[in-house]
């Protein structure tokens, strides 16, 4: 478990940031009928912040765990672990947001869909439900996370990492080869 303590730290920070973000969005009135249409845009803004958390987590893993040398695969794996942990925490964030912070969000969203977009009420009820938000949130977290992590891993990787990174077995073989040459 110690191998993933950095990933857990950054997934926890991202989860707390998501909760704080929801309180800010609610306090600014974006869960009210007049401003609820901006919710998607606000979620995209939070995803930019999430990108920073992924970058900081992978960068810390590179510096502290891999001594400043990391391959793309290892960086991607580290980011993927962060992404999976954030996705694991996501139902808790959704529950707190839509049950505790903003319990009338779904009914307000349904009302906005029927009045502002002329969507039939049955369709609005099917589209704006907690279950749909949960499924969409999980799939969006995973798909966004994987794409962003792949990009971040490319830029964080150590160039020529394959030549620099050696396994303990490779180090043993090099020592034995050097002894034979002498």
Which one, of 160, 129, 3, 125, lies nearest residue 66 by Cα?
Answer: 3
Q: pLDDT value at position 39? A: 85
Question: How confident is the prediction for the chain on average, in pLDDT?
Answer: 87
Beta carbons within 10 angstroms of residue 157's beta carbon: 19
Q: pLDDT value at position 16? A: 95
pLDDT digits over 116-160, tens only?
A: 888 898 888 888 888 888 998 899 999 999 999 999 999 999 887
CA distance 177 to 166: 15
pLDDT digits over 54-92, tens only?
A: 999 999 999 999 999 999 999 999 999 999 999 999 999
Q: pLDDT value at position 175? A: 52
Which one, of 137, 165, 181, lies nearest residue 66 by Cα?
Answer: 165
Region at 119 (left for phi over 0; alpha for psi -120 to 50; beta for the rest): beta
Beta carbons within 10 angstroms of residue 97's beta carbon: 21
pTM of the predicted protein model: 0.81
- Is-contact 53 13, C-beta < 8 A? yes
Is pLDDT of 166 > 80?
Answer: no
pLDDT digits over 34-52, tens only?
A: 888 888 899 899 999 999 9
Q: pLDDT value at position 17? A: 95
What is the SS3 assignment for the chain?
CHHHHHHHHHHHHHHHHHHHHHHHHHHCCCCCCCCHHHHHHHHHHHHHHHHHHHHHHHHHHHHHHCCCCCCHHHHHHHHHHHHHHHHHHHHHHHHHHHHHHCCCHHHHHHHHHHHHCCCCHHHHHHHCCHHHHHHHHHHHHHHHHHHHHHHHHHHHCCCCHHHHCCCHHHHHHHHHHHHHHC
Confidence of residue 163 (pLDDT cuts 50, 70, 90): low
Which one, of 144, 119, 140, 139, lies nearest residue 48 by Cα?
Answer: 144
Q: pLDDT value at position 61? A: 95
């Amino acid at each position: 478990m110690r191998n993933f303590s950095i990933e857990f730290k950054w997934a926890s920070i991202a989860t707390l940031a998501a909760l704080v973000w929801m309180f800010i969005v609610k306090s600014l009135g974006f869960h009210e009928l007049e401003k609820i249409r901006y919710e998607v845009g606000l979620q995209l803004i939070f995803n930019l912040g999430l990108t920073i958390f992924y970058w900081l987590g992978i960068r810390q893993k590179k510096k502290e765990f891999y001594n400043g040398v990391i391959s793309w695969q290892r960086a991607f794996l580290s980011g993927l672990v962060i992404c999976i942990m954030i996705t694991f925490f996501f139902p808790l964030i959704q529950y707190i947001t839509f049950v505790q912070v903003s319990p009338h969000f779904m009914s307000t969203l349904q009302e906005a869909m029927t009045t502002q977009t002329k969507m039939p009420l049955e369709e609005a009820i099917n589209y704006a439900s907690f279950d749909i938000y949960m499924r969409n949130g999980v799939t969006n977290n995973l798909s966004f996370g994987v794409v962003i992590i792949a990009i971040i891993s490319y830029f964080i990787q150590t160039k020529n990492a394959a030549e620099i990174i050696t396994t303990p077995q490779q180090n043993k073989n090099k020592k034995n080869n050097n002894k034979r040459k002498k």
